[in-house]
Amino acid sequence: MIISIVNHKEGTATTTSAINISIGLARQYRKVLLLEMDLQGDISSALNITNQQKSINEVLMGEALFQDVILQREGIDVVPANISLVDVELSMWELENNFYLLKKHLSVLSKNYDYIIIDCPPSLSLLTLNALCASDQIIIPFKLTVLGVNSLELMLSTVEKVQKKLNPSLKIMGVLPVIVNKRKNISKEIMDYLTKMINIRIFKNYIRANVKASEAALFGMSILEYAPNSSSAIDYKNLVKEIINS
């Protein structure tokens, strides 16, 4: 199964979720590939990947194979990206079937993994569209704020267009509330609103706010490795079980 972790809005723990979902799945004895499609290279920073010779950049341009760029971290395979991905994206616009380049390259890999998790950039870019065209399902991390609701509505509209025009088999696995502080009334109100107003699954296991998640990235580790007993780690472990049972 190929799952994109995606939201147009920055600051929604998309990369953190992609990393910890991937490693959590691996700890449940699944074979996992984590693919970075964000030119900011946050996965590389968060998992202490430095000085990589090749990345997803070369794969998309047909200059390397996936087996040339895969690294191992915390029990998963990782395909990193870097800032030059912005130049790759510009070049991709000139290629035929440019919405399906990633799907073409992943077709030779999908049988080797139980899950391929794609970390998408926080924008409606050609890179994001490639990820959505290659995916079976998506998970949308979501902050319980008014601006978060607006971003979610935009994301759902984008997915609907992709389903109609580019990838009819794409499904939304669920909306994932992140950085949740249940003590704030606004959080409860927005959660109630979503439950009543959108006909899309909201994961039962949300991710609570926890400073350990930010600290983990500074040390080049997942929250599951850095602080396995923290609330965030426990939340991601429970989320992974919910994903497996989906």
Q: What is the pLDDT along the chain (246 residues), one digit of tens a residue?
A: 999 999 988 888 899 999 999 999 999 999 999 999 987 878 988 898 887 778 888 888 888 888 889 999 999 999 988 888 888 888 888 888 899 999 998 988 888 999 999 999 888 899 999 999 999 999 999 888 777 788 888 899 999 999 999 999 999 999 999 988 766 666 778 877 777 777 889 999 999 888 888 889 888 899 999 999 999 999 999 999 999 998
Block residue for tokens 């991937």: 22
Determine the Cα–Cα distance for residues 185 and 179; give it in Å rounded to an integer: 14
Q: What is the DSSP string of 134-158?
A: H-SEEEEEEESSHHHHHHHHHHHHH
In total, how many domains does the chain have?
1
pTM of the model: 0.93
Query: Residue 72 is part of which domain span?
Result: 2-244
